Structure formats: C-alpha cells, structure tokens
A and B are shown apart, each in its own frame.
Chain A
Amino acid sequence: MSVLRPLDKLPGLNMATILLVGVEDALLQQLADSMLKEDCASEMRVHLAKSLPLPSNVNRPRIDLVVFVINLHSKYSLQNVEKSLCHLDAGFFLGKVCFLATGAGQDSHCSIHRNTVRKLAHTYRSPLLFCDLEVDGFRASMAQRLVRMLQICAGHVPGVSALNLLSLLRSPESPPLEEL
C-alpha cells in the first residue's frame, strides 16, 4: 500500500493539482466541472478518486490539496473516507487537506450527525466545509473557494502558505470541540 506524500515530487511549472476523494462519482464530477469554470491563473488539474490508496502504476503530478467529500446521507461515504485517511502522509495535514460535508440541507435524510464529521475534521486538525453540492449556486461558490485554497496550497499566492491558511481558517468562535 503506497502512502500519498505531499512533497515527494517537484511541482510542475505553474501547475496546481487537487484530488477529490468521495464515493459519489457524479457529485465529484460536477464539482470538478464547476472548479474548471473558475478563472484561475494557475494551470489546474482535478483528480477524482473513490478512495485511497491511488493506483501506484500511474505517473501523476504533485498533489497540492486533498478534499474528502462526505455525503451526510450515507454512512458508507463516511466509512470510505475514514479508511482512505490512513493512506495519506501526515505532512498533508499541515494545511493540504480539507473535509467537505454535503447534504446537510435535507436534515431528515441525514444518517450521519454533523458532530461526527466535526470530530473527524478536528481529529485530523483540518478545516471542515459544509455545502450542498446538489444546489448549483452553492456548488459554484464552493468551487470558487476550493480554487482559491488550491492556489494557496500550490504556493501560487505570494505571502500565504498552506499552513498559514490553516491557522487562519481555525475560527475562535466555534465551541471547543472537546465539548461536542
């Protein structure tokens, strides 16, 4: 089993690569499409994967940001993410990982409590974003946000690093997670 490492490759010239991990292919595909519609000075690559580890026989560019997509309606999608997390090098968690929970809008369909994903994100010290990816407008703004984060993580924004961003994203107002 190969562990995915953040800095084992040299970056491509002006390249920014994001990896979306989640079981629902159609959702990932739509999110990827929305991201590519955004204006971006860097040359963007979107990799879609159902789970980690990734097949090792392929030559892929350096991955700058990993997004785990969890559908709150499906425990299967959470389990898949939890399993995948073991195949990621610890170095990624210095700002190059984020969790994206979708489906919170339809509360009655949720089979995963929001606090469960909050705890997960807290355990891995990574930001958690909520967004209903099935709503076009929400998805577009989330795509925009991810593109900005990707540019920072790829080092294309002068003066801000991934670690920098991570500490900025940690909001002081949210209740301490130990209480959840």
Chain B
Amino acid sequence: MGRAREMDETLAEFIRRTIFKIPMATMMTVLETWGFLSESQLQSLNFKQRKESLVHNLLLLCEENHASINDVALLDIVYIQVHRHQKMWNVFHMSKGPDEDVDIFDMEEFKSLFKKILHRALKNVTVSFRDAQENAVWIRIAWGTQHKKPNQYQPTYVVYHSQTPFAFASSSRLKSTVPLLGQALTVASKHHQIVQMDLRSRHLDSLKAIVFKQFNQTFENHNSTTPLQERSLGVDINMDSRIIHENTIEKERVRRVTQETFGVCPQPQLEFAQYKLETKFKGDLYGGILAKREEPLRCLIKFSSPHLLEALKSLAPAGIADAPLSPLLTCIPNKAMNYFKIRDK
C-alpha cells in the first residue's frame, strides 16, 4: 500500500521534520513521554542506525497507528518541554476587575474556550494541549489565516498554570498573533486584562520562580546556609598564619550586605538585563557640549552573562564593585523585570 493513499503528504512531512529535529540523545525519552507508540513498537526501533533511516521507520509506525496532526503536535510539545531552553519566553500578567469574584476554574472549560476563540477568529488554526505537572497546561498553537492552512513550523508555545494570573509564551516571529493570543488567554481564564511583562529569558523555570516568588521560599525552607556562605566569599579562608587579612570587618560587611540583597539560595537564571537610558547628561567632568544639551542622551546598556543574577551576586565579594550594588541591578527578581527604561524625573 502506498503512503500517498494512506497518509496526507503534508502530515508525513510534518512528522518527518518534527522527529528530525529531536536530537538522538533525547529521542528515546521524548518518544516514551509522547506515549503514542506501543512498547513493542518502540523496542523494534534500532537507535544505532542513521537518523534518516530511523525517521523513516518511525514514519511507518506513525502511519500504522493512524497518527493525526494533533498527535504530532503533541510530540512537538513533548520535544519543547524537554528542550525548553531553545525558546525565548515572555511572561504575561493577567488581572481581574475590582468587583469580579474568584470563579471555580475548570481546565476542560478553559481548553474549549481557548480553542473556540482562536477558531472563530482565524478559522485555520491548530491548537493542542498537553497537561503537565503542577496544574500546568502546555498549549501549542500553529497559526493560519482565514484562507490559509496553519503553518506547523512556526508555532507559539504557551504554558499556563491554572488559577494563576501568569502565562508564559515563546517568542514568535509572527508579532501580529500576540493580541489574539492575549485575548484568548484572558477570556478562557476568566480574567479582565492582560499585559506583557518586561521579563524575558530562555529559562522558563527561572521565570516561574521569579513571578511565583518561589526563590524566596526555598530560602526559608532549606537551612543549608553554611556551604553557600563560604562559596559566596569567593575565596577560601586561608589557614596560613603568615597571611593576614586586614579588612576582615569590611569583608564581613560585604558578605552580609550581599546575603541581605540576594539571599542565600541560588538565583534564578536570566541571561541579560537591558537598560534604556533617556536621561540628560549630568556632571561637569567632561563639561561643554554634552552638559548643555537639552535633549536626553539616549543609550542602551545591556548586561549579559550565562547566569546574570549569580554574576551580579558575586561582584561585591570578588571586589569588582562596591556593596551594596545599585538597586537597579538588584531589583530584577523582585520587580520581575529585566527590561528597564530610565527617564529623568
């Protein structure tokens, strides 16, 4: 039996491309979590062969099980759940009106409402849901238009934790979809308003920790403060009696101030913080042209690091900056922002 008759060519292509982007190292985990193929089907696969042949064999198995677009979309969600660092995540904050009561949340109702709103607006759209831990649901939306089939290769992924006012969405090149997505989220979760927060990162779990204020809780729960304290000093305390530290009091102060500002627990992971300055030039050091300008001096300052907050935390103990650091740098987790605009008051 030819495949063309069995399965739509676009679907076959979708399956092929979805499986192809899964790295071999995580292939087995992803397929098992997907749960679409039976145990015996999975065991029949040879993971030592070339990826092309493996993809071909998997395609035949999907055909055998009559895979639908939605099944493959679920596989794509599983893949993104495992490789969530590949996406840049945005955070949306929703709020209720002043006199609105807390409704009883029903996940099934949320899903059907969400789907209905997008379908009504676009007609062509693929919406898939996958429940995850902690009352979270992962949503995958492949966008289409009134006259065009959904594009399965530029989907938006959304993570929504039920009964919270926050939703996390992957950045997409299709900027025009953001308002519609916001609308669907607010209506389905029975909120009133939605705003995109100035908080972005590749580390979804860190974003969650920041907006749900979880990193402070770990601080209260665990009492393993001693090893972290030693580490935060930057250097081991030298036991050689011939080396005398003159500024032990100052060092202790820096350590205390750093601990007060950052806590003792590990920091959430962000990659950058951006500051847009629209302030007038102050100070007479360079004087002249700059000081007299009426217009603000525009500049953009970007701090980036694989682990920005830990880097900031170690600045003062390493002696690179004075303690306490500027509140602009230390307020990132508390304000849940890493994009700032600074203007003259």
Contact = CB atoms under 8 A, between A and B. Distances in A.
Interface of A: 19, 22-26, 29, 32-33, 36, 44-51, 54-55, 58, 60, 74, 76-77
A87 B230 CA distance: 31
Given A19-B246, A26-B234, A48-B244, 16 more contacts: A23-B320, A24-B320, A25-B317, A29-B235, A33-B240, A36-B240, A45-B244, A46-B242, A48-B245, A49-B246, A50-B246, A50-B250, A50-B319, A58-B246, A60-B244, A76-B321
A29 B319 contact: no
A25 B243 contact: no
Given A32-B243, A49-B247, A23 B319 contact: yes
Contacts of A24: 318-320
Given A76-B320, A76-B321, A25 B244 contact: no
28 contacts: A23-B319, A23-B320, A24-B318, A25-B235, A25-B251, A25-B318, A26-B235, A26-B319, A29-B238, A29-B243, A33-B240, A36-B242, A44-B242, A46-B242, A46-B244, A48-B243, A48-B244, A48-B246, A48-B247, A50-B246, A50-B319, A51-B247, A54-B246, A55-B249, A58-B246, A74-B320, A76-B321, A76-B322
Interface residues of B, number: 19
Which secondary structure dominates where chain A touches chain B? mixed
Interface string B209-225: 00000000000000000
Nearest to B236: A29
Nearest to A74: B320
Interface string B282-326: 000000000000000000000000000000000001111110000
Nearest to B234: A26
A50 B248 CA distance: 10
Contacts of A46: 242-244
Contacts of B246: 19, 47-50, 54-55, 58, 60
Contacts, number: 62
Contacts of A60: 244, 246
Contact of B234 (A25, A44, A50, A77): A25
Contacts of A45: 242, 244
Interface of B: 234-235, 238, 240, 242-247, 249-251, 317-322
A25 B240 CA distance: 15
Nearest to A19: B246
Nearest to A53: B246
A133 B303 CA distance: 26
Nearest to B322: A76
Nearest to B254: A50
Contacts of B245: 48
Contacts of A47: 243-244, 246
A74 to B, nearest CB: 6
A26 B251 CA distance: 12
Contacts of A25: 234-235, 251, 317-319
A50 B235 contact: no
B112 to A, nearest CB: 57
A58 B247 CA distance: 11
Contacts of B240: 33, 36
B1 to A, nearest CB: 63
Nearest to B317: A25
A31 B160 CA distance: 53
A60 B320 CA distance: 27
